[in-house]
A and B are shown apart, each in its own frame.
Chain A
Amino acid sequence: MTMNVSKGLDACRDAAQGDDFDLAAATAVLGALPVAVIVLDHRGALCFANASAQRLAGVIHSDIRQGLQRLVDHPPQSDVADAEHAPRDCEDRFDCATEGGRALGVIRQWRVSGDDGKVSVTVRPARNEAAPDAMQASTPTSTLDGKSANEQQSLIHAEKLATVGQLAAGMAHEINNPICYVQSNLGTLRDYLNKLFGILELSDQLVRDREMTPEQRLDALDMRKQAADYQMIAEDLPALLEESREGVERIRQIVQNLRDFSRLDPTESFRLFDVHRAIETTLDIVRSLGGGRIRFATYFQQLPLIECNPTELNQVLMNILVNATQAIDDDGAIEIHTELSGDHIGIRISDNGCGMDEATRLHIFEPFFTTKEVGKGTGLGLSISYGIIQKHGGRITVESEIGKGTTFVITLPLRQANHGTEATS
């Protein structure tokens, strides 16, 4: 991957010299990019940072220069001159930044990861579509396995945070609506109660009034009831209470789902779990993203509990379902089928969204591969899902036709051969 960057940049440089490319114009273009770009010289010293990078640095540190320094402060490694032997792991920032002793521009992605608010930095090498052979050299397995368990954990967490962030807007809307009507209904309830107490007080007085005939009492009471809309209140009250109760239940459910999903317990190990419950929980969250425009259908076969890591399984389902909702433009449908076959279960998730072409399909499981615009996709979702399924001793495959839709099929064994540890495939 790093090799591609250098090739691409060389090509650019040659072209630039040929056409007498204006350096000021190039700087202006870099400055306007929505991604953070930092250019280092061959000693690894900072020589350029575009506006996005500076903004980012400002977030990390109140002093922008220090913030920028924090982003590049890995010590240079001496043995990276040979591009062939440079590690493929694109987590290594400096390798990508200087290669063959030359300064290279790199596109970086930053995320705040983990509990201590430390910034973890990942590098996204500029992709060169003209050299697919080099791309294939890095399969998701090799890349993910190349990481320590710790790194992988933090990647997973980072990805999860990103997904949660994406969901946040949808969730806010989801939670806001029930809050709206429950709150307003409580106000109405108070108004109703005031009126009812008014009637009660009057009847109290009437009962004690010795002067009135029974007819007069009834008349007075009826008049008061009419004025207070007694009939309407009596009819509306049960509906008001039921709707409000249902609203609170909805909020409870959303919060519960979010908590289920965001819990990250690195020590959580494999246990027996209901796949259908995982699917339902995830669907509840994803539904809010679809904004009602997507129809969801589930076709469940009777399944036994399977041995899995529930949090991770949720994450895989979430990634695939979020991708599916993003692939659907206007209105569409997502179907989920489950089935039992021998000692495996199968989960099939289909959407009738945009689909993808062969070239895209080949790369989707690679880390950082995304076709989405900057800020929308990190390209990590599927590579992490792949790693998780691999770890479970399962398989994940995809079929897709452009314009028609996409189907992901996950197969998982009922039992882990060797649980608790990283299963070998």
Chain B
Amino acid sequence: MNERISAYSLLVLDDEPQIVKAMTRVLARMPSEWLDAPCAVKGFTDPHEALASLGERNYDLVISDLRMPIMNGLDFLRQARELQPDAMRIVISGHADLPTVMSAVNDTQVFRFIDKPWNDTELQMGVAQALRNCMLLRENQRLADVVRVQRSTISRQEEALRDLEADSPGITHVERDETGAIFIDENEFDSD
């Protein structure tokens, strides 16, 4: 039922290229027991380029630093959410104060905060959970869509019948005799 994917697509953003590379390495060696497909990571150091990429292709997970010179990490995540609401978001930061954390959770619905310097296992685990969550949400959505489509087909039929009945009352429940011929109540003609 759940279509299998060949690789998860991740976006990693940090103003420090070495951090992007180190993180990419950690995600590339994600234990296979934790995730059913490998992670394909695209790394960025420029938030604008990252946003451009978000406008072009689908991602399952967006990971971003908070403190960056060109753009505030929260602003970035907010825009990322507008572009791809279905992708998960993770923050990696060495100095998140409470207001920032609250804003991240409430406004940008960040899935997880990971401290800097990160623990490799923790990072892998967080990412794996986010991706599994992402797949679950997608599956839920797909099922919900199926149900909605079915429901709307049903209600469309109902609506058509109601219109017909309003036009010519009684037409939706005509009676037929055993040969299939329409049974007409003679009284109705009289009163007309």
Contact = CB atoms under 8 A, between A and B. Distances in A.
Interface of A: 169, 172-173, 176-181, 183-185, 187-188, 191, 232, 236, 239-240, 243, 246-247, 291-293
A184 B26 contact: yes
Interface string B106-138: 000000000011101000000000000000000
5 contacts: A177-B19, A180-B19, A181-B18, A185-B22, A293-B69
Given A173-B94, A173-B95, A180 B69 contact: no
B116 A176 contact: yes
Contacts of A247: 18
B39 interface: no
A179 B119 CA distance: 12
Interface of B: 15-16, 18-19, 21-23, 25-26, 28-29, 67, 69-70, 94-95, 116-118, 120
B29 A184 contact: no
Contacts of A188: 22, 25-26, 29, 120
Contacts of A178: 18
B29 A180 contact: no
A70 B13 CA distance: 51
A53 B139 CA distance: 59
Contact of A179 (B21, B28, B117, B120): B117
A176 B65 CA distance: 13
B120 A181 contact: no
B120 A184 contact: yes
Nearest to A177: B16
Contacts of B21: 181, 239, 243
Contact of A183 (B16, B69, B94, B117): B117
A180 B67 contact: no
A292 B117 contact: no
Given A185-B22, A185-B25, A243-B22, 5 more contacts: A176-B117, A180-B19, A180-B116, A188-B26, A291-B67
B69 A181 contact: no
A172 B69 CA distance: 16
Contacts of B116: 176-177, 180
Main secondary structure on chain B at its contact with chain A?
A: loop
A240 B25 contact: yes
Contacts of B69: 291-293
A179 B22 CA distance: 11
Contacts of B120: 184, 187-188
Nearest to A247: B18
B95 A184 contact: no
B118 A184 contact: yes
Main secondary structure on chain A at its contact with chain B?
A: helix
B167 to A, nearest CB: 67
A-B pairs with lowest CB-CB distance, top 3? A292-B69, A181-B22, A184-B22
Nearest to B14: A177
Nearest to B67: A173
B16 to A, nearest CB: 5
Nearest to B123: A184
A409 to B, nearest CB: 29
A325 to B, nearest CB: 13
A246 B16 CA distance: 13
B162 to A, nearest CB: 62
Contact of A176 (B18, B25, B26, B94): B94
B45 to A, nearest CB: 11
Contacts of B15: 292
Contacts of A169: 95
A170 to B, nearest CB: 10
A177 B94 CA distance: 9
Task: Pick from A181, A185, A246 the residue with the most CB of B within 10 Å.
Answer: A181
Contacts of B70: 292
Contacts of B118: 180, 184
A187 B94 contact: no
Contacts of A180: 19, 22, 94, 116-118
A243 B29 contact: no
B23 A184 contact: yes
A243 B18 contact: yes
Given A172-B95, A173-B94, A177-B16, A184 B117 contact: yes
Contacts of B19: 177, 180-181
Contacts of A179: 117
Contacts of B22: 180-181, 184-185, 188, 243
A291 B94 CA distance: 15
A176 to B, nearest CB: 5
A292 B16 CA distance: 11
A243 B22 CA distance: 9
Contacts of B94: 172-173, 176-177, 180
Nearest to B25: A188
A163 B18 CA distance: 29
Contacts of A246: 18
B29 A191 contact: yes
A187 B95 contact: no
B37 to A, nearest CB: 16
A236 B67 contact: no
